[in-house]
Structure 1
């Protein structure tokens, strides 16, 4: 399979009402063939790996965005700046494209409805994703950044149900804030979402925006930006609009290549085929040790999807541990951000833990890493990893 999105290597749309206990699920993957009202839903989309290069060419000449500031203890006390494309800008592009499927995507975007096996909520940013992004800016991200790659260990970050990809982008932004290293370490991101349209219209633009906010000054020229370029950059940031041209995209590709950052994308349902695609990068560089971090937020709301999600998570944990270092802090781990209970649909943390226990028993270890208490439903971040053999 051709390598994906290697870049030369070979306002506000957060819907949060913490007092509302009703369903506000997120990037969920409903594996059931029947929707909640009993009507037949769309058949599952098969997993597919994508080359993001072809998606870059579909971006308009200008996109509107807002900046999400994530508090950080690893960025010199400064907030981590993430770029997030505006929902109205996504809608504008969908309306301009001649695609019958876009009508239903626009409906889901405007009404916030999830249509099982068709649109899974990825156009919006959900509160648990921001919980996980904050954690990445203060804990796991720091651990990754402190690893200077002297032992040759590459890093693989896999985000399941990525959507706007705030958790992974929190790590991505911190990597961009570091000086370019002479280390041979690779950092590979795999962004997965049920909808390829979400990856194309949200995840890819957010990557470009986050790069622009964090490293564009270094990438502009070897001598730094001119006064004219500085004025243009300031105007763009004030207006929160990004002009996209070939020179910007070339600088993006070059900077990521120089930093050893590579990226690929996977759309479609969780499945054994999905797992194989997610590990493509590790197979392409067989013989090098990998350290893998799996991220997921708002993925356990529905009992009908818990089995497929849990099987996918456990399979990734087992496969990555078998192929890389497994001692100490280098053991593969998953971080799952979720509400404790999703009222009205039956999912939640207890149900997720029950499924994990049924599938893996004592072979899996689960630890609560973060708890967010609110007036409404509490939220947590769970760490999941395979139990040590010792």
Structure 2
């Protein structure tokens, strides 16, 4: 099951209060440079795992990293008591609820039978051969589902240590569960801020654009929304590429959420959006949603 939500999620709050961010705080400096990580074995480093139910008939493996371990890996004790240290840590060591919503949507949207994902000697799925990018991946479970369906998946997280100690081991552990007859798609890993990652991946030698971009629980603040949207605009393949964004309708106390993100996308004018999945959060006064971003019928001059 998913771990607890943000420590600053204050529960049921009136809608007009949900859009208010913290006042009097300086804007964080998101300047982490982009780089590709080549995963290597880490002898002597224990990797503890547990199973998480993704859908009926499907369990995936995920690593477990304690808050104290996360603080040590990132050399910042604030990480031990907070799921978010702006400009330093973006919550990548935790599994968020919307990641599982996105996994389930991928299975249904692209015609993959959950109970066959880890057992079928051959698997036919609309994701096969697609180029997929998961932004702000953390555990990377949506990207792992896409890879199990035959997609070539690239994983991105702000923190390289999240990729090294959690994402890449998760990918390897889950791919080892596939029948030998199934091909292992290519997976690559990139760290850094979204602006820098967009510039890196559109550069020479990186192939640039993606058929499908995934992201979950990354639009909790207005600055995060703006950076994510700019990255998607850089990397989504026109005219048929789509992005699937999973998030709560509101993130209380930090000003972000799906409602404000869709308003931002509408103002920007590049993509059309629609809600493709909703989950009521019992007792919270909130809703989890998955939204699709796609190009309109006529390509915007931005891409010409």
Asked if TM exceeds 0.5, the reply is: yes
Query: What corresponds to 2:214 in structure 1?
Result: 295
Q: Does 1:367 align with 2:279?
A: no
Distance 1:82 1:313 in 2: 27
SS state at 1:133 partner: helix
TM-score norm. by structure 2 comes to: 0.79
Query: What corresponds to 2:120 in structure 1?
Result: none
Aligned counterpart in structure 2 of residue 80 of structure 1, from 39, 43, 58? 58
- Asked whether the equivalents of residues 341 and 349 of structure 1 are also in contact (C-alpha less than 8 Å), the reply is yes
Query: What corresponds to 2:227 in structure 1?
Result: 308
* Alignment CA distance shift 1:285-1:129 (3 Å): closer
Aligned counterpart in structure 2 of residue 162 of structure 1, from 127, 133, 137? 137
Q: Which has the larger radius of gyration?
A: 1
Q: Deviations over 1:301-357 (max 9, x none)?
A: 10122211111112222xx11xxxx4xxxx210000010011111111221122112
Aligned counterpart in structure 2 of residue 266 of structure 1, from 190, 201, 204? 190
The structure richer in helix per residue is 1
- Asked whether the equivalents of residues 175 and 184 of structure 2 are also in contact (C-alpha less than 8 Å), the reply is no
Q: Does 1:51 align with 2:29?
A: no
Aligned counterpart in structure 2 of residue 171 of structure 1, from 146, 159, 175? 146
- C-alpha deviation, 1:15, in angstroms: 1.4
Distance 1:163 1:278 in 2: 19
SS state at 2:139 partner: coil
Q: Deviations over 1:174-196 (max 9, x none)?
A: 44xxxxxxxxxxx3211000001
SS state at 1:378 partner: strand
Q: Does 1:103 align with 2:81?
A: no
- Unaligned stretches of 5+ in structure 2? 13-21, 114-122, 300-304
Query: What corresponds to 1:248 in structure 2?
Result: none
Distance 2:252 2:2 in 1: 22
- Asked whether the equivalents of residues 339 and 349 of structure 1 are also in contact (C-alpha less than 8 Å), the reply is yes
Query: What corresponds to 2:105 in structure 1?
Result: 135
Distance 1:115 1:46 in 2: 17
SS state at 1:382 partner: strand
Query: What corresponds to 2:174 in structure 1?
Result: 210
* Alignment CA distance shift 1:21-1:379 (3 Å): farther
Q: Deviations over 1:262-299 (max 9, x none)?
A: 1111111111x422433569x6679xxx8711000011
- Asked whether the equivalents of residues 68 and 83 of structure 1 are also in contact (C-alpha less than 8 Å), the reply is yes
SS state at 1:388 partner: coil
When the two chains are superposed, the root-mean-square deviation of aligned CA atoms in Å is: 3.2
Equivalenced residue count is 277
Q: Does 1:125 align with 2:95?
A: yes
- Asked whether the equivalents of residues 82 and 173 of structure 1 are also in contact (C-alpha less than 8 Å), the reply is no
TM-score norm. by structure 1 comes to: 0.63
Distance 1:285 1:38 in 2: 38
- Asked whether the equivalents of residues 80 and 137 of structure 1 are also in contact (C-alpha less than 8 Å), the reply is no
- Unaligned stretches of 5+ in structure 1? 1-11, 24-34, 73-78, 96-100, 176-186, 220-254
Structure of higher RCO (CA pairs closer than 8 Å, 6+ residues apart):
1
Aligned counterpart in structure 2 of residue 146 of structure 1, from 125, 132, 135? 125
- C-alpha deviation, 1:155, in angstroms: 1.3
Q: Does 1:351 align with 2:260?
A: yes
Distance 2:43 2:112 in 1: 32
Query: What corresponds to 1:241 in structure 2?
Result: none
* Alignment CA distance shift 1:192-1:291 (3 Å): closer
- Asked whether the equivalents of residues 371 and 380 of structure 1 are also in contact (C-alpha less than 8 Å), the reply is yes
